[in-house]
């Protein structure tokens, strides 16, 4: 079975300036090189889902500029349906400028642009797309009000909703009740519940808090240690695959996209899907960059025969 996955999320063009050291206030320095790449949590998640075999569609917004076309073309290369990407006449395409020095330290400045200008009204045009999906994913690089509108439609049509609460922010009223599965990292989970994640007992306490909010299913990712999962039927901890990480960019997004490609609508195979997602992200961290580092299903299966 091939999952039909819809991602509602961000589209950013990342510009990385490679420099010797960070500039001091008022200092002008020269960059050794510059690279442009497709990014944004939404784009990363959609590409991860598509490369793991899911029939993937995207709901998002770009500006009427060359960066917008760059992002649309990047998604098309992975066979992602881009018919529901809106073009905003007033705001530019989202972007990030990354200063990366010789020691691997970075400073990042993000312009939300068209991502943050999205309005809930545009979701009505995507109802038929959502109706045909198995899984709908969203995160917090686009307005929560837009996610709420989309998740309400998803629940109307029996579609499973996955929320990645990143960057960390408190949930707006009503969003928890239409979220089937929430997937934070340990920092985001603690931010939402007020309970620090230190061990499995504290993870279970986080799960209890999310259940009280109205979200019955939880996965907390804890980097190279692994991931904790909790459902009304079961809970457990799956250790990560031990690898030498070169670049953790897009690891979390790869996890969520890969997970969405494998998980059943009723989440009955959550542990198996989680294990597959960890295999995918373990490959991502061994490679440089965001989209270029995301593996295909064949690469994952070849790595973990």
Condensed to tens digits (0 to 9), the pLDDT of residues 78-135 reads 999 999 999 999 999 999 888 888 876 778 888 999 999 999 999 999 999 999 999 9
Q: What is the mean pLDDT of residues 7-12?
A: 97
Per the annotation, where are the binding residues?
Answer: 12-14, 40-44, 141, 185, 221-226, 247, 249, 252-253, 284, 287, 289, 293
Rounded to the nearest 5 degrees, what angle is found at the Cα of 149, between the Cα atoms of 145 and 151?
A: 110
Q: What is the mean pLDDT of residues 140-155?
A: 98
- Tokens 């992975």 belong to 78
Give the closest residue to 162 by CA, choosing from 121, 114, 235, 217: 217
Q: What is the mean pLDDT of residues 292-300?
A: 94
pLDDT of 104 = 66
pLDDT of 132 = 97
Condensed to tens digits (0 to 9), the pLDDT of residues 192-211 reads 999 999 999 999 999 999 99
The tokens of 10 are what? 């961000």
Beta-strand ranges (E) seen in the chain are 4-8, 12-18, 33-39, 55-63, 81-88, 94-100, 106-111, 135-139, 160-164, 181-182, 217-221, 226-230, 235-239
Distance CA 219, CA 207 (A): 9
pLDDT of 110 = 84
Which residues are known catalytic residues? Answer: 253
pLDDT of 249 = 77
Domain range summary for the chain, segments of one domain joined by +: 4-11+40-92+114-303
Per the annotation, where are the binding residues for ATP?
Answer: 185, 221-226, 252-253
Q: What is the mean pLDDT of residues 67-77?
A: 97
- CATH assignment, 4-11+40-92+114-303: 3.40.1190.20
pLDDT of 55 = 98
Give the closest residue to 254 by CA, choosing from 208, 293, 201, 215: 293
């Amino acid at each position: 079975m091939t999952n039909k996955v819809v991602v509602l999320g961000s589209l950013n063009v990342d510009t990385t300036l490679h420099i010797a050291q960070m500039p001091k206030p008022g200092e002008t320095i020269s960059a050794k090189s510059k690279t442009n790449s497709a990014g944004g949590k939404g784009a990363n998640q959609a590409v991860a889902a598509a490369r793991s075999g899911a029939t993937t569609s995207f709901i998002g917004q770009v500006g009427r500029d060359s960066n917008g076309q760059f992002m649309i073309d990047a998604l098309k290369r992975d066979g992602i349906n881009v018919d529901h990407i809106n073009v905003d006449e007033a705001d530019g395409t989202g972007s990030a400028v990354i200063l990366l020095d010789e020691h691997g330290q970075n400073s990042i400045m993000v312009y939300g642009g068209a991502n943050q200008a999205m309005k809930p009204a545009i979701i009505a045009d995507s109802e038929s797309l959502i109706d045909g999906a198995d899984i709908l994913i969203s995160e917090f690089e686009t307005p929560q009000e837009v996610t709420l509108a989309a998740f309400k439609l998803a629940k109307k049509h029996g579609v499973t909703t996955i929320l990645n609460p990143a960057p960390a922010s408190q949930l707006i009223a009503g969003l928890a009740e239409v979220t089937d599965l929430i997937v934070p990292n340990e920092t985001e989970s603690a931010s939402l519940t007020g309970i620090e994640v230190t061990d499995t007992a504290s993870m279970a306490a986080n799960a209890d808090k999310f259940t009280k909010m109205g979200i019955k299913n939880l996965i907390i990712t804890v980097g190279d240690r692994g991931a904790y999962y909790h459902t009304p039927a079961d809970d457990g901890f799956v250790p990560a695959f031990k690898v030498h990480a070169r670049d953790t960019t897009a690891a979390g997004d790869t996890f969520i996209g890969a997970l969405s490609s494998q998980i059943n609508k009723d989440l009955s195979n959550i542990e198996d899907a989680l294990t597959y997602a960890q295999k995918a992200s373990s490959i991502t961290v061994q490679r440089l960059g965001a989209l270029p580092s995301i593996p295909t299903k064949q690469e994952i299966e070849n790595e973990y025969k």
